[in-house]
A and B are shown apart, each in its own frame.
Chain A
Amino acid sequence: RKEVEQDPGPFNVPEGATVAFNCTYSNSASQSFFWYRQDCRKEPKLLMSVYSSGNEDGRFTAQLNRASQYISLLIRDSKLSDSATYLCVVTTSGTYKYIFGTGTRLKVLA
């Protein structure tokens, strides 16, 4: 089983739609979780951290389910500018190393 798994997509959605991505991780000792956004041939940029209680930042909501070892990202009211690849990132206790998923590609269509 891969350490961090994501559906590669692409998810093609119309503007204004709500879209959700999931990510599963294999190591139960995983400690910190993030969603990053990556535009084509650019660096990953931190979108949001994922907290145990769930957290929201504007149109973006992240959830963590430790029992089932998955995290999710919900994007409401999709904009054309949301088109990108969304990377799930996991770290484990005692290390600063990021483990990346392969990313989920989102295309928001006009």
Chain B
Amino acid sequence: GQQLNQSPQSMFIQEGEDVSMNCTSSSIFNTWLWYKQDPGEGPVLLIALYKAGELTSNGRLTAQFGITRKDSFLNISASIPSDVGIYFCAGQLSDYKLSFGAGTTVTVRA
């Protein structure tokens, strides 16, 4: 399947910080999705993006669908401790399959 490059691989957050992560691909996608996985659970959908250039918010989360349709970013504003987890980007071409990034692991800075 198509390979998505997600960065950073990991990050430390301090409560109140804004954080950002992004995903790039050599392929064009029709839909970009961002998921979050809490420890011991399956990924849960956070935001879905359907049009190039689209900017969508869900509470403190904001994501954008890149103009080239080959990239997307996710911002988290005013981090709180429950933001820790693994964030995955995913690109969708067809009805059947998603291609996933390797994930960004967010942990709290001690």
A binds B: no
User: Using a CB–CB distance below 8 Å, which chain B residues touch chain A?
Assistant: none
> Could you list which residues of chain A lie within 8 angstroms of chain B, going by C-beta atoms?
none
